[in-house]
């Protein structure tokens, strides 16, 4: 295998010396262009692992490696848009400080908003839009920097099922179209199987890696197509069985 774009080696994390570990001896890799989903019970350290990869946190032990020069976007469950800025202004915010002129800023922001189907809404403010549209704008803010890596922390977790389904399809099209390397944290097995090339299953706290599952459905897939496949139902059942005892521990 070629050198991975992202890797962790024996990573553990304690926030305080006397506290039990949040993560324990986590070793994993993500290849260039791959979409990896992290699933596991609440509190198992999935989001913490993203924070370590992004550099927001440093491990207590072990090593996190990201290929030098890689630009990352981080999209959270909450859109975290600035209410006093328009959607275009919010997307431009992530580009400010890069030495771009006014015209270049606007062009990059408008291109990113077009990628998430928000053309025509550039001058609206976040409070004027639905939750799904706000989350699209948050994704556009990340896309505007032309990232090689996108970190997604339950980006659709706060949305209703119908909106989430539409945005999952849009996200798949964007990720496959740009070739971005992506790490996705989700509680949703169906979302993981729809979007990911590989699913990493984590144990209850302290988070460890308990299994890695290759998703065999190819890049061209949809929720409707998967629901009719026997191999999808079987893989979904296997993941549920892997997670069941961990969810009981975390409860």
- Domain extent, residue 59, equals 1-70+181-251
Within-domain flag for 92: no
Query: pLDDT value at position 90?
Result: 93
Distance, in Å, from the CA atom of 118 to the CA atom of 113, rounded to the nearest integer, reads 5
d(CA 224, CA 229): 10
The answer to whether position 220 is within a domain reads yes
CATH of the domain at 48: 3.40.50.300
B/e letters for 188-214, b = 16+ CB within 10 Å, e = fewer, are bbbbbbbbbbbbbbbbbbbbbbbeebe
Residue 66 lies in a domain: yes
Q: Is position 201 within any domain?
A: yes
Rounded CA gap, 68 and 82, in Å? 31
**Does a structural domain hold residue 56?**
yes
Split into its structural domains, the chain has a count of 1
**pLDDT tens track of the chain, all 251 residues?**
568 999 999 999 998 765 788 999 999 999 999 999 999 988 899 999 999 999 999 999 999 999 998 999 998 888 889 999 999 999 998 888 777 788 888 999 999 999 888 999 999 999 999 888 898 899 999 999 889 999 999 888 777 888 788 888 888 888 888 889 999 999 889 999 999 999 999 999 899 999 999 999 887 788 888 888 999 999 999 999 998 876 656 55
């Amino acid at each position: 295998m070629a050198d991975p774009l992202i890797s962790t080696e024996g990573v553990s994390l304690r926030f305080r010396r006397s506290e039990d570990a949040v993560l324990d001896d986590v070793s994993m890799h993500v290849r260039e262009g791959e979409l990896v989903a992290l699933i596991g019970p609440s509190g198992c350290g999935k989001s913490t692992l993203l924070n370590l990869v992004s550099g927001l946190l440093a491990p207590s032990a072990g090593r996190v490696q990201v290929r030098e020069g890689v630009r990352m976007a981080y999209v959270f469950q909450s859109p975290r848009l600035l209410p006093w800025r328009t959607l275009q202004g919010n997307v431009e915010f992530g580009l400010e400080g890069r030495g771009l002129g006014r015209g270049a800023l606007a062009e990059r922001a408008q291109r990113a908003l077009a990628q998430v189907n928000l053309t025509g809404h550039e001058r609206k403010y976040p409070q004027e839009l639905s939750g799904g549209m706000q989350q699209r704008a948050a994704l556009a803010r990340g896309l505007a920097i032309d990232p090689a890596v996108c970190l997604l922390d339950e980006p659709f977790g706060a949305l209703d099922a119908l909106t989430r389904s539409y945005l999952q399809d849009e996200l798949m099209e964007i990720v496959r179209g740009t070739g971005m390397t992506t790490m996705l944290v989700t509680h949703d097995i169906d979302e993981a199987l729809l979007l990911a090339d590989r699913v990493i299953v984590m144990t209850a706290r302290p988070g460890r890696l308990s299994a890695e599952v290759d998703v065999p459905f190819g890049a061209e897939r949809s929720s409707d197509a998967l629901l009719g496949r026997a191999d999808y139902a079987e893989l979904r059942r296997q993941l549920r069985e892997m997670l069941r005892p961990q969810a009981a521990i975390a409860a």
